[in-house]
Structure 1
Amino acid sequence: MTTESTFQALLQLPEPWFIAGIDIDAEGEAMHVRIECRLGALLACPQCGVACEVYDHAEARVWRHLDLWQCKTWLHCRLPRVCCAEHGVRQVAVPWSEPGSRLSSAFEARVIATVLGCRTIKAACTLLRLKWDQVNAVMGRAVARGLARRGAEPMAYLAVDEKAIAKRHRYVSVLYDLQRGCVVEVADERRKASLTTLFASLTPAQQGTIQAVCMDMWEPYIKATTDALPEGADKIVHDRFHVMQHANKALNAVRIREARALAQQGDTTLKGSRQLWLYAAENVPSRRQADFEALKNADLHTARAWAAKETLRRTWAQPDVASARAHVQAWLADVSAHLPGPMLDFALLVKEKLEPIIRYCRHPISNGKAEGINSQLMAIQRSARGFRSHASFRIAALFHCGKLDLYPAGHYAHVKP
Structure 2
Amino acid sequence: MNTNDIMVLGLGLQAPWRLVDQHLDLEKKPHELQLEIAADRGSQYPCPQCQKMCSAHDFTEKKWRHLNFFQHHCYITARVPRVICPEHGVRLVKVPWAREGSGFTLLFEQAALTLVREMPVNAAARIIGITDKRLWRIVFHYVNKALSQFDFSEVRSIGLDETASKRGHNYVTTFIDMEKSSEPVLFVTSGKGKKTVQEFTTFLEAKGGKVDNIAEVVCDMSPAFLSAVKEHLPKSNVTIDWFHIVQKFVKSVDDTRKLEHRFINLPPGSRYAVLKGKNKRLTSKQVTALSTLLETKCETATAWQIKESLAWIRNAESIEQAEERINVFIEKATLLVKGNKYTASVLDALATLKKHANQVIQRWASTYTNARLEGLNSLFQAARNRARGYRNNETFIAMIYMIASPAGSILKSI
TM-score range, shorter chain: 0.7 to 0.9
Per-residue Cα deviation, 1:171-194 (whole angstroms, up to 9, x for no partner):
222223343354333222223112
- The whole-number CA distance in structure 1 between the counterparts of 2:383 and 2:275 is 30
Quick one: which amino acid aligns to residue 57 of structure 1?
A: D
242 and 354 in structure 1: CA distance in 2 versus 1, 3 angstrom threshold: same
What SS does the aligned partner of 2:87 have? coil
Higher RCO (CA < 8 A, seq sep 6+):
1
State which drifts further: 350-359 or 55-64.
Answer: 55-64
Do residues 137 (structure 1) and 140 (structure 2) align? no
Shift of 1:206: 5.3
Do residues 276 (structure 1) and 273 (structure 2) align? yes
Quick one: which amino acid aligns to residue 120 of structure 1?
A: P
What SS does the aligned partner of 1:110 have? helix
115 and 90 in structure 1: CA distance in 2 versus 1, 3 angstrom threshold: same
Quick one: which amino acid aligns to residue 253 of structure 1?
A: D
Shift of 1:89: 2.6
- The whole-number CA distance in structure 2 between the counterparts of 1:9 and 1:399 is 32
Partner of 2:71: 70
What SS does the aligned partner of 2:149 have? helix
| 8 Å Cα contact 2:98/2:104 also seen in 1 | yes
Among candidates 328, 331, 334, match of residue 330 of structure 1: 328
Do residues 387 (structure 1) and 381 (structure 2) align? no
| 8 Å Cα contact 1:213/1:237 also seen in 2 | yes
What SS does the aligned partner of 1:15 have? coil
Do residues 239 (structure 1) and 241 (structure 2) align? yes
Partner of 1:349: 352
Quick one: which amino acid aligns to residue 103 of structure 2?
A: R
Correspondence list, 1:5-404, <5 A: 5-28=5-28, 29-49=31-51, 51-117=52-118, 119-152=119-152, 154-178=154-178, 179=180, 180-203=182-205, 205=209, 207-232=211-236, 234=237, 236-260=238-262, 263=264, 268=265, 270=267, 272-285=269-282, 287=284, 288-289=286-287, 292-293=290-291, 295-296=293-294, 299-340=297-338, 341-404=344-407
TM-score, with structure 2 as normaliser: 0.87
| 8 Å Cα contact 1:183/1:398 also seen in 2 | yes
User: Which ranges in structure 2 are unaligned for 5 or more consecutive residues?
Assistant: 339-343
- The whole-number CA distance in structure 1 between the counterparts of 2:139 and 2:383 is 14
207 and 40 in structure 1: CA distance in 2 versus 1, 3 angstrom threshold: farther
Q: Percent identity?
A: 24
- The whole-number CA distance in structure 2 between the counterparts of 1:172 and 1:325 is 34
| 8 Å Cα contact 1:145/1:406 also seen in 2 | no
- The whole-number CA distance in structure 2 between the counterparts of 1:362 and 1:407 is 34
State which drifts further: 277-286 or 107-116.
Answer: 277-286
RMSD (Å) for aligned C-alpha atoms: 2.6
- The whole-number CA distance in structure 2 between the counterparts of 1:153 and 1:33 is 47
What SS does the aligned partner of 1:283 have? coil
Quick one: which amino acid aligns to residue 328 of structure 2?
A: A
- The whole-number CA distance in structure 2 between the counterparts of 1:157 and 1:297 is 47
176 and 137 in structure 1: CA distance in 2 versus 1, 3 angstrom threshold: same
User: Which ranges in structure 1 are unaligned for 5 or more consecutive residues?
Assistant: none
155 and 73 in structure 1: CA distance in 2 versus 1, 3 angstrom threshold: same
| 8 Å Cα contact 1:187/1:195 also seen in 2 | no
| 8 Å Cα contact 1:143/1:404 also seen in 2 | yes
407 and 64 in structure 1: CA distance in 2 versus 1, 3 angstrom threshold: farther
| 8 Å Cα contact 1:30/1:71 also seen in 2 | yes
Shift of 1:209: 4.3
Aligned length: 402
Per-residue Cα deviation, 1:261-314 (whole angstroms, up to 9, x for no partner):
5x3xxxx45554122122222114263446535544653443333232222234
Quick one: which amino acid aligns to residue 167 of structure 1?
A: R
What SS does the aligned partner of 1:150 have? coil
What SS does the aligned partner of 1:201 have? helix
What SS does the aligned partner of 1:89 have? strand
What SS does the aligned partner of 1:237 have? strand
- The whole-number CA distance in structure 1 between the counterparts of 2:337 and 2:131 is 62
State which drifts further: 12-21 or 69-78.
Answer: 12-21
- The whole-number CA distance in structure 1 between the counterparts of 2:410 and 2:152 is 19
